[in-house]
Structure 1
């Protein structure tokens, strides 16, 4: 069964506003190599509209740093799904699914392939509540934002999600990458 993974940049106080993070070459390399094990990216509409056309434009123009350009190329090469009831059309290797989030994700997990990466805040909340995220990658930035959207402020869970820390990476910038696996209880 394929794993569903979720990654997010956050501040020390849990802010997940993408404008608060300032990725450097090392962070872009980290996220690019994370995509080695991914062959499908799933977004909600808002995150999709942030990522596309931004990353395709960077890849086409080679307008970022070397590491940002490599991330853009990797991102663009991976097939995507957008869960949206309102998005009219999607670009390139992206298809739109309108409903049945849980059933569709379960079906995707059963298909052969690499990991499925999800992006966004609303989609993440729904999949966490359904227990469908298997791995979490958090990069904690050495910033106290003081305001903005918090990573887990919109989640209501019926029970705890227990995680096992499997890897820690400390970056030269002071960021810390944390990789967790969801622990299956009762095994």
Structure 2
């Protein structure tokens, strides 16, 4: 069965609002590798609209402000399949992009049973639901050396029936003070 991988940047106080953080070269390189290990992206409408057309446009014209940004954009654009979970979105860009409107648990279980590589997800709302459903296999969390003081947090509006215990299976400390933590379900 394919793995569902959740990747996110968090500040020290747990904020995951992309406008409050600091993604540098090392962070982009880390998430580029994660992207290259996936052949399907699974997003909610909000994350999809943040990522597309932003990253595909950078991939087309190499307009990122750094090499690492351009490399991430290229890896993003190279992913074979994108799935968007939305009840309100009418259309999506790209021939290999589809919309899930049905039961999230059932649809993601179908995706996980298909042949292929890892399924990568990010954002807040859909990943929080996927965590609550017990469908996320690995968590890649990059902790930023920032205290934001405010902003969205994962699982803010989602209650877990019971605590989810994870096993630390990898970590990396970046020169910038960012720390990447990789956890797997026990």
- Sort the TM-score into its range (normalised by shorter chain): over 0.9
Q: Report the alpha carbon displacement of residue 124 of structure 1 after superposing the two structures with TM.
A: 0.9
CA–CA distance in 1 between the matches of 2:20 and 2:178?
Answer: 13
CA–CA distance in 2 between the matches of 1:117 and 1:83?
Answer: 13
Give the TM-score normalised by the residue count of structure 2: 0.95
Q: Report the alpha carbon displacement of residue 151 of structure 1 after superposing the two structures with TM.
A: 2.5
Q: Does 2:58 align with 1:23?
A: no
Q: Counterpart in 2 of 1:42?
A: 42
Q: Counterpart in 1 of 2:108?
A: 105
Q: How many residues matched?
A: 183
CA–CA distance in 1 between the matches of 2:17 and 2:36?
Answer: 25
Q: Does 2:68 align with 1:67?
A: yes
Query: Which consecutive unaligned segments of at least 5 residues does structure 2 have?
Result: none
Judge which range, 140-149 or 94-103, deviates more. Answer: 94-103
Query: Which consecutive unaligned segments of at least 5 residues does structure 1 have?
Result: none
CA–CA distance in 1 between the matches of 2:110 and 2:155?
Answer: 26
Q: Report the alpha carbon displacement of residue 144 of structure 1 after superposing the two structures with TM.
A: 0.5
Q: Counterpart in 1 of 2:140?
A: 137
- Runs ≥4 residues deviating over 4 A: none
Give the TM-score normalised by the residue count of structure 1: 0.95
Q: Does 2:96 align with 1:91?
A: no
Deviation digits for residues 112-140 of structure 1 (CA, Å, limit 9, x no counterpart):
11111112211011111110001001000
Q: Counterpart in 2 of 1:169?
A: 172
Q: Does 2:120 align with 1:117?
A: yes
**Alignment check: 8 A CA contact 2:124 2:153 kept:** no
CA–CA distance in 2 between the matches of 1:42 and 1:163?
Answer: 22
Q: Report the alpha carbon displacement of residue 36 of structure 1 after superposing the two structures with TM.
A: 2.4
CA–CA distance in 2 between the matches of 1:154 and 1:106?
Answer: 23
**Alignment check: 8 A CA contact 1:10 1:151 kept:** no
CA–CA distance in 2 between the matches of 1:80 and 1:130?
Answer: 21
CA–CA distance in 2 between the matches of 1:133 and 1:45?
Answer: 19
- Please list, as runs of the form range in 1=range in 2, the aligned pairs for 1:147-158 lying within 5 A after superposition: 147-158=150-161
Judge which range, 26-35 or 131-140, deviates more. Answer: 26-35
